[in-house]
DNA sequence: AACCGGGTCCCCCGCGCGGGGGATCTCCGA
DNA sequence: TCGGAGATCCCCCGCGCGGGGGACCCGGTT
């Protein structure tokens, strides 16, 4: 089965170079060449190629904007490969957020561009190794648990329990019911928590707990 | 410059296969072969190879655990490539969190394994395309702003302002000072916010704001 | 035995808060 | 022109909350 490819780059030279690369493969067919992002979006909508290879820097609409427009269409089946000379982090994040199937540097060897097109066509994705490195670092910190503030160690286990319930916006009476103790007891615990953590209100306690990641809200 | 490589896999057959692959390259030298994770950690510490290629499934200590131990050492300079037959998401996340330089499937063509070692050695990283696809999806949702609840549209701009200040644990008086209005006005706004959002307390409002991502706490 | 920290319960007091009213002004659109 | 929405300010009332005390019990260390 032959794969149709659209090329978008504002340099005619580069387009013909890539076209020449694809022409060496008889299962890849370059069905369109465009010089700007708006044309890319239009041609993708018209021709519905298997893969669109977009330069990031393009007139009228850049590759990122074009990617977003193309992939925003739920009926779209075209995979997008982004090509760039410089790999700014912001580019990468925007590209991946938009759902691009690849983020490659123009320094890529021709054979690998070909393989990238095939990878994208079968639904997988591919990121340049130099970018992957930083992506992993970023991903790691996003997975890392937020640092627990040291003053939390001052709290007893019971006080931490109470803090969590306060953070869940429970009133003293609700906390008392939940812990099967009297509400006077809860008041004592809450007071201790506030003074130990240097917080004025239970309101501050709620904010504190959320900011310090004591509450699992994020996916 | 020649790169030293350590191989860790509990199948002798696979090790010799990989060794044969590396032997075809005169700039790659396989300096050790081990059959379990503990041995891998020990040999990496002793030989300090440029790259360690670890299978995930190994006796005594699996590849992920070994990766974590190796990369936990700040003096370590060895890059870790993980190899696996099955690409469970949990494996991937743990591997990337530990700081692995690669996550590859055993179905990888031999030439690409060689190139992966070189990529890792120069400090870049490489992830199998089938995994990359899912990684991007996961990364995209982690970047996506949390969905804004529809009832927030009921609030006027002033009320949203007030809500944000409440979420910052400001008292009514503090909000009044910040907005240069009377505290009676603030009370009116807060009341409206609470009733519109169906919240009992300002405490609930704080929790609501944080849970719905109205406060930028995460990096 | 004496001591102490953690957990539990109790009282009083002051105040911020939230709900219930109502009022004025301005701006914008029907 | 009139109405309504938004923003502002005002009063009263009740209650939950937080601080400041004190008290008891228990398990550990000294």
Chain A residues at the B interface, defined by Cβ less than 8 Å, are: 93, 96-97, 99-101, 119, 123-127, 129-130, 132-133, 135-137, 139-144, 167-169, 171, 201-204, 206-207, 210-211, 215, 217-219
Taking the C-alpha atoms of residue B35 and residue B15, their distance in angstroms, rounded to an integer, is 9
- pLDDT less than 50: residues of chain B: 219
Amino acid A219: pLDDT: 46
DSSP letters, A21-34, are HHHT-TTEEEEEEE
- State, as a whole number of angstroms, the distance between the CA of B191 and the C1' of C19: 8
- State, as a whole number of angstroms, the distance between the CA of B216 and the C1' of C24: 37
The reply to whether B187 has its C-beta less than 7 Å from any atom of strand C is yes
Which member of B101, B137, B142 has the closest CB to residue A142? Answer: B142
Token pair belonging to B164:
């944000």
Residue nearest to nucleotide C19 (CA to C1'): B191
* pLDDT tens-digit profile, chain A (219 residues): 799 999 999 999 999 999 999 999 999 999 999 999 999 999 999 999 999 999 999 999 999 999 999 999 999 999 999 999 887 888 888 999 999 999 999 988 888 899 999 999 999 999 999 999 888 888 887 777 777 888 899 999 999 999 999 999 999 999 999 999 999 999 999 999 999 999 999 999 999 999 998 987 654
- Asked whether the beta carbons of residue B101 and residue A133 sit closer than 8 angstroms, the reply is yes
Q: Name which of B132, B140, B172, B218 to mutate to probe chain A: the one with the most chain A Cβ atoms within 10 A of its Cβ.
A: B132
Q: How far does B42 lie from chain A, in Å, by closest CA?
A: 25
Amino acid B219: pLDDT: 46
Which nucleotides of chain C have an atom under 7 angstroms from any protein CB? 5-11, 16-22
Token pair belonging to A111:
């054979």
Phi-psi region for residue A60, left (φ > 0), alpha (ψ -120 to 50) or beta? left
- Asked whether the beta carbons of residue A125 and residue B144 sit closer than 8 angstroms, the reply is no
Taking the C-alpha atoms of residue B86 and residue B104, their distance in angstroms, rounded to an integer, is 10
Residue B121, helix vs strand vs coil: helix
- In degrees, rounded to 5, the angle at the alpha carbon of residue A208 between the alpha carbons of residues A203 and A212 is 155
Window B156-185, strand C contacts by Cβ < 7 Å? 171-173
Amino acid B55: pLDDT: 95
Q: Yes or no: say if A132 and B126 are a contact pair by the CB < 8 Å rule.
A: yes
pTM for this model (two decimals): 0.77
Q: Yes or no: say if A161 and A186 are a contact pair by the CB < 8 Å rule.
A: no
């Amino acid at each position: 089965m032959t794969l149709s490819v659209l090329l978008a780059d504002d340099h005619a030279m580069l387009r013909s170079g890539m076209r020449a690369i694809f022409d060496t493969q008889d299962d890849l067919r370059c069905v369109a060449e465009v010089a700007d992002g708006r044309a890319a979006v239009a041609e993708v909508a018209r021709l519905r190629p298997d893969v669109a290879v977009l330069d990031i820097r393009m007139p009228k609409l850049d590759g990122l904007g074009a990617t977003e427009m193309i992939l925003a269409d739920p009926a779209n089946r075209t995979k997008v490969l982004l090509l760039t000379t410089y790999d700014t982090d912001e580019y990468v994040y925007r590209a991946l957020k938009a759902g691009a199937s690849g983020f490659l540097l123009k320094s890529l060897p021709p054979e690998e561009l070909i393989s990238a097109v095939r990878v994208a066509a079968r639904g997988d994705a591919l990121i340049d190794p130099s970018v992957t490195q930083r992506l992993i670092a970023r991903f790691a910190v996003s997975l890392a648990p937020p640092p627990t503030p040291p003053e939390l160690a001052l709290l007893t286990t019971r006080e931490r329990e109470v803090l969590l319930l306060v953070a869940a916006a429970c009133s003293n009476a609700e906390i008392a019911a939940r812990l099967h103790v009297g509400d006077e007891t809860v008041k004592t615990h809450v007071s201790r928590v506030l003074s130990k953590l240097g917080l004025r209100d239970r309101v501050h306690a709620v904010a504190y707990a959320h900011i310090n990641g004591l509450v699992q809200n994020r996916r």
